Chain A
Amino acid sequence: MNKIETRNLSIWYGDGRVLTDVNMKIKEKCITAIIGPSGCGKTTFIKAINRMIDLTHIARIEGEILCDGENIYDDGIDVVELRKKIGMVFQKPNPFPMSIYENVAYGPRVHGIKDRRSLNEIVEKSLREAFLWDEVKDRLNEPALGSSGGQQQRLCIARALSMKPEVILFDEPCSALDPISTSKIEDLIVELKKNYTVIIVTHNMQQAARISDYTAFFLTRGELIEYGSTSRIFERPLDKRTEDYITGRFG
């Protein structure tokens, strides 16, 4: 089952092309990794999927992105609803300067949930899902920024989960973390694919190899060079450029 599909997706920043005719079908409840050298449009690609790219005013988008068969760039699409459905976790852990509880309750509150009991439930469920509940249950009212980097990132994941999304986008979620925190996040992401569709941008090829089911390789100007099952891509890539990149013969 395809959750997300892009059709001839191209993006420009001003005159510079950052994504070129990307056609990609992303499977539901799988982890899809996006790899490629810096500046190849990976982050732009996932930012287009929840329309965070709208914040970049100079971006111009052509083509379609279908989520459950619906073009998310259609006029009738409610961006708020879209972002509820497609959550995002960023490169640098970015918990808000509030308590742990308030961080997770932020999303539901913004969308009008006021009832304390429902909020409590959502907060606990989300924190549990992010493997964080046991570590923070006694200090929910302490500031989130007092936690370790790895905990902060898992808090951000819990925050994304609080919206009950269907898709979660990860933009290099471990690049600022130590190896132990990285493993925890990786375990968590693998766990998440049971219920969510996960798309992860990563610079770390081993990470892509370890956790993803499908891997897409992008190259300069956001060309999708190769896309297929992760084991196939890392064992025998079909394109010479993919091979050169993943074996480190690139550049």
Chain B
Amino acid sequence: MISVNFSQKIANIMLWASALITIAILFIMVGHILLNGVEVIDLQFLLESPKNAGREGGILPMIVSSLYTTGLALIVAIPLGIGSAIYLTEYAVKSPLTKAIRYATETLSGIPSIVVGLFGYTFFVIYLGLGFCVLSAGLTLSIMALPIIMRTAEESVRTVPIGYREGSLALGASKWQTIRKVLLPSASPGIVTGIVLGMGRAIGETAAIMFVVGGGWRMPISPLSPAQPLTVHLYELFSAGIISTEIGYGTATVLLAMVLAITFTANWTMRRYIKKIMGE
């Protein structure tokens, strides 16, 4: 018979150990990449195009491509995501339509990215005739980011206290005024978190855009030019037989740094914003 105290101790140790292992894995992985990548990164690496089949030179076009595709994806996904989130919480009253929308977003977030890539290829590249380009990639990525943004936005709009809505409507404000002036500002910290998550998904996606973005090392100018985002670049470096491990690590480090920087900025801004509106 194990005493209560003893089983409690075991549980403590196990819980503590799992937390420790999780953090350790994260640190080891990030540390490994950063340690190997940092020495590669210099101004030249950030500001030049690849040379010598990617063995030398920088990755500027890839950075731009990543930002470009992700930006386009967000431009499409944010309004759609927030719009449907508001529709679901404020307008739709448990109708078959809302059920369908919820079901669709859940399915959407569960689809393997390579399948989304396949759809992007058939639909955007071939059927709509957009070709292999930044726009096709952005649209494909927006499909990846949309469910995340919508789900988080829906959740944060839903958790805005009912009192805010009542307060505004009781002052004679219309529903749209209430949404625009009270609901969205109150929900924005949550919405921004959703956007950051969606963006992380989009910027880190490889499989979904491999077949739609085109590739090449040229700087993408118009939305219709082909591009090679960091992830695809990384994939190519490795799949082409590890041309240069250092450049691979450098690319990974830049990717990581971008995600971290965006997450950090968003969190910081939001914390300030929350402090401003909530007074805490």
Contact = CB atoms under 8 A, between A and B. Distances in A.
Interface of A: 50, 52, 55, 57, 79-84, 87-88, 90, 92, 94-98, 106-107, 110-111, 142-147, 156, 159-160, 163
Nearest to A82: B172
Given A94-B161, A94-B163, A50 B170 contact: yes
Given A94-B164, A106-B181, A52 B276 contact: no
Chain B CB count within 10 A is highest, among A50, A92, A94, A144, for A94
B167 interface: yes
Interface residue tally on B, bucketed by range: 20 to 34
B180 to A, nearest CB: 10
B279 A145 contact: yes
A90 B171 CA distance: 12
Contact of A97 (B166, B169, B170, B186): B186
B269 interface: no
19 contacts: A80-B172, A81-B172, A84-B172, A87-B170, A90-B167, A90-B170, A92-B161, A96-B167, A96-B168, A97-B186, A97-B277, A97-B278, A98-B185, A98-B277, A106-B168, A106-B171, A110-B172, A110-B177, A146-B279
A90 B164 CA distance: 10
A57 B186 CA distance: 24
A94 B182 CA distance: 12
Interface string B240-280: 00000000000000000000000000000000000011111
B280 A52 contact: no
Given A110-B181, A156-B167, A144 B172 contact: no
B93 interface: yes
B177 to A, nearest CB: 5
Nearest to A109: B181
Contacts of B185: 97-98
Contacts of B122: none
Given A57-B93, A97-B185, A107 B172 contact: yes
A142 B278 CA distance: 9
A42 B36 CA distance: 69
Contact of A163 (B93, B171, B174, B182): B171
A156 B93 CA distance: 29
A146 B170 contact: no
A123 to B, nearest CB: 14
Contact of B171 (A57, A87, A143, A147): A87
A83 B172 CA distance: 5
B162 to A, nearest CB: 9
A96 B182 contact: yes
- Those 7 A-B pairs whose CB atoms lie nearest each other, nearest first: A146-B279, A94-B163, A143-B279, A97-B277, A83-B172, A107-B171, A88-B170
Contact of A160 (B163, B171, B177): B171
Nearest to A106: B171
Contacts of A57: 93
B280 A146 contact: yes
Contacts of A52: 166, 169-170
A240 B161 CA distance: 40
B166 A94 contact: yes
Contacts of B166: 52, 55, 88, 90, 94
Chain B CB count within 10 A is highest, among A81, A94, A97, A145, for A97
Contacts of A142: 279
A245 B99 CA distance: 46
B173 interface: yes
